[in-house]
Structure 1
Amino acid sequence: MEIGILKETYSGETRVPLIPFAVGELIRQGNRVVIQSEAGLASGFEDQAYREAGATVVYSAEEVISRSELILKVYPPSWEEYQRLEEEQILFSFLQLSHATKKNLELLIEKKVTAIGFEAIEDQAGNLIILTVMSEIAGKLAVPLAAHYLQARQGGKGILLGGIPGVPPSVVVVLGAGVVGSNAAILASQMGAQVMVLDKDVSRLRALEEKTQFRIASAVATPYNICRFVPIADVLIGAVFIQMESTPHILDEELIRKMRPHSVFMDISIDQGGCSTTSRPTTIIEPVYLKEGVIHFCVPNIPALVPRTATIALSNILLPFLEQMAEKGPQKILSSQKSFARGFYTYNGFCLKEKIADHLGLPFVEMKT
């Protein structure tokens, strides 16, 4: 199979899907890999390392696409990148099509592109294997980033996240006890913050309390409790996630306005649309803005802040899936590999995700495995 790796164009996106070792493994199995020059540079992997692994380095996205059956990238494609895709190619990337515009999906259907989203692929146990790893990274980064923006020099309240003897710690409120929320809550607790976690799933809250030896408090995420605890937060972390759906706006301007001035709101769910009406996507280059007196951090690709770690983790997971794809092709994957097949959004001119197809009024075919 001809595999092409694109250099990322989104502001601050520094990850690359495969490290040179993984490229070499694919080539040893009889595949050919074309990579755009400097695609791995920000992750610490130079062109020469990919050449030594057997890849062909080219200097334009157009050449990568024209020479490849399967296109690999990390950040969801821009409209320009969608337009460059050719008939019946395979697109393998984060796609986030649950809140994409209709024209993106229509183009994939029209060109009969096989579109596979990193965020929807499962392992044999039913876990969203790629999304989980990136969410772990995002959760672990959310807390030190919030601590940074609490500093007076950054426009924050000028308080220490964990406090010191005689001075109480910051209050961290986490909305969601999934992978992002749990990792953030655990780290915030370890750093000495007073942590409150809200989630609708009591079993998740119980597991998190036990894991932290009851150093955190929890509450069911009812509208009453959200309105009760959000205003007392020095740091508010939005970690709301609903698979195959845009994140619901559980916060609005009025509630954000009730937060303490110069508090920090980390909307980690912004990649799915964000959990507040005050949220809008930002970039690693310009990550924050002030809204209703609260510092908003709404970067959708937080793992790109640690690209080497994120790239190695991503490459480790992707390699076996790419080996399967190269050996079997998309049709056999759909019929025999249920966990991998769940990542397919479109195939042969149809949308395979019923919720998305119904929402956008597009043709749907049930995936049969």
Structure 2
Amino acid sequence: DGQIVISPIHIPSLSKEHLQKCLEKKIIGIAIGNIKDDAGYYPIVRSMSQIAGVQSIHIASRYLGNNDQGNGILMGGIAGVPPANVVIIGAGMVGEYACRTALGCGAQVKVFDNSIYKLMRLQRTVGQSVYTSVINPDELTLALKDADVAIGALKMQKGVIPMVVTENMVKSMRPGSIVIDISIDNGGCFETSSLTTHQDPVYRMHDVIHYCVPNIASGVSKTASTAISNILMPLLLSVSETTGGTDHLIQHKPGLLSATYMYKGKLTSKALSRKFSLKFTDLNLIFSANI
């Protein structure tokens, strides 16, 4: 009882029974992806997003160049041979790092997002001219028809991922082309996406290879673990230096307070409370009442 568990929460695979057992054990649960820094950013999410963006292109390149599964195409092409066409849906941190990596490999890249601000920021940070567009179904369909690789990198909006790529759009893609749906952690943005695993990562639908492994950063575990440790260690070390220990740190560090989803038998996440029809308790009230 009273153990502290700092881990990711994968809501699609989380069960009510598992949650109730954790509540019975009076665990203090902290969602690693919801930890904020003093500037209000999510440092672990940002690091994992960067890894996911880079890794998505490496994975796509591996399958694209495979003669048995893909089309035997080199991502960057060579003199006299055109490079691969990469379509990235989403211009956030994941999309930006996927774009950087694809351009670094020499691929032709198109980026789609409904946020003009994100598209402008991506062009500025990438440092070169990149084809960008809002997510117009006609434009997106045309781009996907010519794509060798399509990367889904959209963030949740109002608790759901927009399903912007229909099954008909996937049907129009080239045989042997690759779909990497990084958004699968929260449901995916391709209508044809279904969860896969690192052990069995791909399947074919409409002759298009689908890679839909959640938590794609775990595929490069040493890099991901080091990135997480760099962020968590200063936080954990500060517990030993704080009078009152963990309780005091959670109470007085807003970035930890907002990431705590269960506290000593109380469910303190509104999202989990709504999803599983369990009683919600405001963590601030718990500390105020000194329960």
TM-score range, shorter chain: 0.7 to 0.9
Any idea what the Cα deviations from partners look like across 1:290-340, whole Å, max 9, x if unmatched?
Answer: 112111112223333333222222211111222244544443233210012
Instruction: Assess if the C-alpha contact under 8 Å between 1:238 and 1:269 holds in 2.
Output: yes
The answer to whether 1:123 aligns with 2:32 is: no
Distance 1:324 1:275 in 2: 39
**Tell me, what secondary structure is at the counterpart of 1:153?**
coil
Distance 1:273 1:325 in 2: 36
Distance 2:157 2:45 in 1: 11
Distance change (3 Å), C-alpha of 1:224 and 1:324: farther
Distance 1:329 1:132 in 2: 27
* 2:247 equivalent among 331, 341, 347: 331
Aligned to 2:203: 289
Q: Residue type of the partner of 1:333?
A: L
Aligned to 1:105: 19
Any idea what the Cα deviations from partners look like across 1:346-369, whole Å, max 9, x if unmatched?
Answer: 113333222332232221123439
Distance change (3 Å), C-alpha of 1:245 and 1:98: farther
* 2:124 equivalent among 181, 187, 210: 210
Instruction: Assess if the C-alpha contact under 8 Å between 2:96 and 2:126 holds in 1.
Output: no
Q: Residue type of the partner of 1:93?
A: S
Distance change (3 Å), C-alpha of 1:309 and 1:139: same
Aligned to 1:352: 268
Instruction: Assess if the C-alpha contact under 8 Å between 1:174 and 1:185 holds in 2.
Output: yes
Aligned to 1:9: none
Matched length: 283
**Tell me, what secondary structure is at the counterpart of 2:209?**
strand
Any idea what the Cα deviations from partners look like across 1:53-91, whole Å, max 9, x if unmatched?
Answer: xxxxxxxxxxxxxxxxxxxxxxxxxxxxxxxxxx33221
Any idea what the Cα deviations from partners look like across 1:258-290, whole Å, max 9, x if unmatched?
Answer: 211110011112222322232223232322211
Instruction: Assess if the C-alpha contact under 8 Å between 1:98 and 1:246 holds in 2.
Output: no
Instruction: Assess if the C-alpha contact under 8 Å between 1:95 and 1:116 holds in 2.
Output: no
Q: Residue type of the partner of 2:190?
A: S
Q: How does 1:158-237 map onto structure 2 within 5 Å?
A: 158-237=72-151
Distance 2:15 2:166 in 1: 23
Instruction: Assess if the C-alpha contact under 8 Å between 2:89 and 2:154 holds in 1.
Output: yes
**Tell me, what secondary structure is at the counterpart of 2:204?**
strand
**Unaligned segments of structure 1, at least 5 residues:** 1-86
Q: Quick one: higher RCO (CA 8 Å, sep 6+), 1 or 2?
A: 2
**Tell me, what secondary structure is at the counterpart of 1:237?**
strand
Q: Residue type of the partner of 1:287?
A: P
Distance change (3 Å), C-alpha of 1:167 and 1:314: same
**Unaligned segments of structure 2, at least 5 residues:** none
**Tell me, what secondary structure is at the counterpart of 1:139?**
helix
Aligned to 1:137: 51
Instruction: Assess if the C-alpha contact under 8 Å between 2:11 and 2:186 holds in 1.
Output: no
